[in-house]
């Protein structure tokens, strides 16, 4: 089904004020992404941050001296990011859709980030957003996208909770990795109570599917796998203790990183935020 980007923008505008309020395992996911980013900064001068939102990555990277270009399609996100970035040099703001980055030349940026949203929430156009991110990458691309093995249990649970049965959207997720609120009339009940009673159109990927689309776009895989599965598998009670305990937080994040690499590379990832990570470079 076609994606209505005007509807999506309105939804992201409404979500903007709470974008950096990291509850649940969002903080773990964000910390794991920083660990990964730090590994790829050597030799990097220019960075493109696609779906930069409130500037949580763009601004600190620009402050560190990298020449950063921020892209987002939400006016509210852009407004908040610009407000936070007053006085920060090396940071350009561009309002654009991740599925069309034709204003940037091919191989134009040393490091490209497209994390948590601007791919997955492009729904049926998500593969195009990946293709655009690949095209503009000179050295490395870091992507995080919705993890199919994390999304299927979530939709299964919400489906049973709201309707006491397994709705068609669960099977649509299995078959095509796609959620679209207008796909089935009963989908609306699942989104009740969310921002604007809406759940943005999204696409979730299996590691194999993501590997194949990156290869099709001329990329070599550097790392591909789940992000933060331990934080989901250890359960809400343990996670809540970790989040309250500053002393243990960093140690737990490092354990999550090891778990993803050594124990369960293709696990479900974190429950909140995109739980599948890929790092790739042009072949």
Ligand X SMILES: C[S@@+](CC[C@H](N)C(=O)[O-])C[C@H]1O[C@@H](n2cnc3c(N)ncnc32)[C@H](O)[C@@H]1O
CA-closest candidate to residue 212, choices 200, 225, 221, 201: 221
For position 72 contacting ligand X by CB under 6 A, the verdict is yes
- Among residues 85, 101, 115, 276, which is the contact residue for ligand X, using CB under 6 A? 115
C-alpha neighbours within 13 Å on the C-beta side of residue 166: 8
Q: Which stretch binds ligand X (CB under 6 A): 69-77, 132-140, 148-156, 247-255?
A: 69-77
261 token code pair: 């690499």
For position 121 contacting ligand X by CB under 6 A, the verdict is yes
Q: Minimum distance between the CB of residue 99 and ligand X, rounded to whole angstroms?
A: 6
For position 116 contacting ligand X by CB under 6 A, the verdict is yes
Determine contact, residues 95/72, Cβ cutoff 8 Å. Answer: yes
Determine contact, residues 266/150, Cβ cutoff 8 Å. Answer: no
Determine contact, residues 218/283, Cβ cutoff 8 Å. Answer: yes
Smaller CB distance to ligand X: residue 52 or 207? Answer: 52
Q: Minimum distance between the CB of residue 97 and ligand X, rounded to whole angstroms?
A: 4
Q: Which stretch binds ligand X (CB under 6 A): 94-102, 222-230, 238-246, 263-271?
A: 94-102
Q: Where are any strands of DSSP class E within the chain? A: 46-50, 67-72, 91-95, 109-115, 137-147, 178-179, 202-205, 219-226, 276-282
DSSP β-ladder status, 91-95 and 109-115 = unpaired
Q: Minimum distance between the CB of residue 115 and ligand X, rounded to whole angstroms?
A: 4
Taken in order 163, 166, 168, 172, the sign of the CA dihedral is: positive
Q: Minimum distance between the CB of residue 201 and ligand X, rounded to whole angstroms?
A: 10
- Among residues 40, 59, 74, 111, which is the contact residue for ligand X, using CB under 6 A? 74
Q: Minimum distance between the CB of residue 158 and ligand X, rounded to whole angstroms?
A: 19
For position 12 contacting ligand X by CB under 6 A, the verdict is yes
Q: How far apart are CA 69 and CA 66, in angstroms?
A: 10
Q: Minimum distance between the CB of residue 247 and ligand X, rounded to whole angstroms?
A: 25
Q: Minimum distance between the CB of residue 95 and ligand X, rounded to whole angstroms?
A: 8
For position 77 contacting ligand X by CB under 6 A, the verdict is yes
Smaller CB distance to ligand X: residue 59 or 77? Answer: 77
Q: How far apart are CA 85 and CA 55, in angstroms?
A: 8
Q: How far apart are CA 29 and CA 230, in angstroms?
A: 11
CB count, 10 Å around CB of 193? 7
- Among residues 69, 122, 146, 147, which is the contact residue for ligand X, using CB under 6 A? 122
Smaller CB distance to ligand X: residue 30 or 138? Answer: 30
Which residues share a beta bridge with 278? 143, 224
Smaller CB distance to ligand X: residue 51 or 268? Answer: 51
For position 117 contacting ligand X by CB under 6 A, the verdict is yes
Residues lying near ligand X in the complex (CB under 6 A) are found at: 12, 19, 51-53, 56, 72-74, 77, 97-99, 115-118, 121-122
């Amino acid at each position: 089904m076609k994606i209505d980007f005007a509807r999506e923008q309105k939804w992201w505008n409404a979500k903007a004020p709470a974008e950096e309020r990291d509850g649940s395992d969002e903080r773990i996911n964000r910390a794991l992404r920083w660990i990964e980013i730090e590994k790829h900064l050597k030799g990097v001068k220019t960075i493109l941050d696609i779906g930069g939102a409130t500037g949580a990555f763009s601004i600190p990277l620009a402050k560190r001296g990298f020449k950063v270009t921020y892209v987002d399609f939400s006016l509210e996100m852009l407004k908040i990011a610009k407000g936070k970035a007053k006085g920060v040099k090396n940071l350009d703001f561009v309002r654009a859709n991740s599925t069309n980055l034709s204003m940037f030349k091919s191989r134009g940026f040393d490091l490209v980030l497209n994390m948590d949203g601007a791919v997955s929430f492009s729904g049926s156009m998500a593969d195009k957003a990946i293709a655009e991110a690949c095209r503009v990458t000179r050295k490395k691309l870091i992507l995080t996208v919705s993890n199919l093995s994390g999304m299927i249990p979530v939709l299964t649970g919400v489906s049973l909770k709201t309707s006491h049965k397994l709705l068609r959207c669960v099977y649509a997720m299995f078959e095509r990795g796609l959620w679209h609120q207008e796909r089935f009339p009963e989908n609306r009940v699942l989104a009740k109570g969310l921002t604007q009673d809406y759940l943005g159109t999204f696409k979730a990927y299996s590691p194999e599917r993501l590997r194949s689309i990156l290869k099709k776009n001329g990329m070599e895989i550097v790392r591909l796998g789940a992000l933060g599965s331990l934080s989901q598998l250890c359960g809400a009670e343990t996670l809540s203790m970790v989040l309250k305990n500053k002393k243990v937080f960093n140690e737990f994040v490092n354990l999550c990183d090891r778990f993803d690499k050594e124990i369960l590379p293709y696990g479900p990832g974190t429950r909140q935020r995109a739980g599948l990570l890929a790092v790739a470079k042009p072949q």
